[in-house]
Amino acid sequence: MVASKKVSTSFAKMIEDVRRLCYIYFRLMKSTGTFTRHRTKVQVHIFMNEKFFDLKKEKQDRMINASLKVFAMNGYEHASTDDIVKEAAISKGLLFHYFISKLGLYSFIYDYSVRYIMLELSTGVSPKETDYFKLLDQIKFAQLQVMKNYPYMLQFINSSNDEIVSEALVETEDKRSVLPGQYAQIMERADLGRFKKDTDVKMLTKMLEFTADGLMREQFMNGSFQPEIYYKETRQYFDMMKTLCYK
């Protein structure tokens, strides 16, 4: 019981560290007003009040979750800040006190999501695991922990891949390769010698990704999404393919 409490306290501290890292990042951006990205040489204005991180965690999460939901379901162009403040049960004035523009809010939400998911992956995926399907399961379990706190975070990241608005794309360009790169790095450890000779692992991986994304979209669309049920159903597909593809 004591050990469990220590782990919980340690994890809570890591989450708070992520929040503080975001605080420092946006404070630096605000102090200069603009910054230049080395790859694209695009000057971007940061419209975010760092005092957002002084709010109570419950209010921060309400605003983050509302933004995630509205952006995930509507995309950047059609996302309405009226819907966000209604979902978060706050005033529009309060939202724009901390995020001066919709673009500033979108940029923060994207950056925060990437950092939060990366944290869960770093704590939830064993660096010693080499079994292909166990690695996939650990990734999905890490994502489950994300969705327990932020139900729409993965859907937001997935839907952002279909984003077409140029200002939203430019604002998130340098972060878009982070999660795909991390997933690829994790799966590079998989021992492919356990597969049957004629198994196309790249095709299998893509098929399982499409299946998992499709399950999530379907459940969100019909209003039945529950993280634990989604994780359980995804595992069933993994187990089925493991039986078919392993020697």
Q: What is the pLDDT of residues 129-179, one digit of tens each?
A: 999 999 999 999 999 999 999 999 999 999 999 999 999 999 999 999 999
Give yes or no for a contact between 146 and 116, defined as CB atoms under 8 angstroms apart: yes
Range of the domain at 99: 2-245
pLDDT value at position 47? Answer: 64
Spatial contact of 121 and 137, defined as CB atoms under 8 Å apart? no
Higher-pLDDT residue of 223, 25 = 223
Going by pLDDT thresholds of 50, 70 and 90, the confidence category of residue 221 is confident
Place of tokens 């901390």: 98
Q: pLDDT at position 22, please? A: 53
Question: Among residues of the chain, what percentage have pLDDT more than 90?
Answer: 70
Contact 62, 89 (CB under 8 A): yes
* Per-residue confidence (pLDDT) for residue 45, from 0 to 100: 43
Which has more confidence, 47 or 182?
Answer: 182
Question: What is residue 224's predicted lDDT score, i.e. its pLDDT?
Answer: 82
- Tell me the pLDDT tens digit for each residue of 89-98: 999 999 999 9
For residue 169, the number of C-alpha atoms closer than 13 Å in the C-beta half-sphere is 7
DSSP summary character for residue 93? H
Residue pair 205/214 in contact by the 8 Å Cβ criterion: no
Q: Say which CATH number the domain at 150 has.
A: 1.10.357.10
Average pLDDT over residues 217-232: 88
pLDDT of residue 31: 40
Overall domain count for the chain: 1
CB-based contacts of 9: which residues, under 8 Å, 6+ apart?
none
Is residue 117 predicted with pLDDT exceeding 80? Answer: yes
Q: What pTM does this model have?
A: 0.79
Q: State which amino acid sits at residue 92.
A: K
